[in-house]
Amino acid sequence: MAIENLAESILEKVKLITQADTVIGKPIQAGDTTIIPVNRISVGFGIGGHSGKGETSASGGGASVEPVAFLSVHNGEVRILPVTKDSSMVAKVMDLVPDVVAKFKKSED
């Protein structure tokens, strides 16, 4: 496979992995409470190749999805339930809350 095709194929897969639905998960209804998972995605890959006689190419990569928090929506009140004690990550998640709540309310309409 030509290195350009290999790179294109890998980038398509990365696009699938990093969709917004992977970062902000689908809401889960539990009685009158809605739980929304929030994940951290890490992706890395490399591509190398040689053109000429005996053309070769190689690639490698990896991805991980790590839950960092859950948003709990109950009676219009949103609470952040962090999975980790990393306060910087909790601060980042808190920055997302208004957008997530707006998205959630929009889907209810």
| Distance between CA atoms of residues 73 and 32, nearest Å | 9
Q: What is the mean pLDDT of residues 25-49?
A: 85
pLDDT attached to residue 34: 92
- What pLDDT, on a 0 to 100 scale, did the predictor assign at position 88? 67
Q: How many domains does the chain have?
A: 1
Rounded-to-integer distance, Cα 89 and Cα 96, Å? 11
Radius of gyration of the chain (CA): 19
The answer, as to whether pTM is greater than 0.75, is: no
Structural domain span for residue 60: 3-108
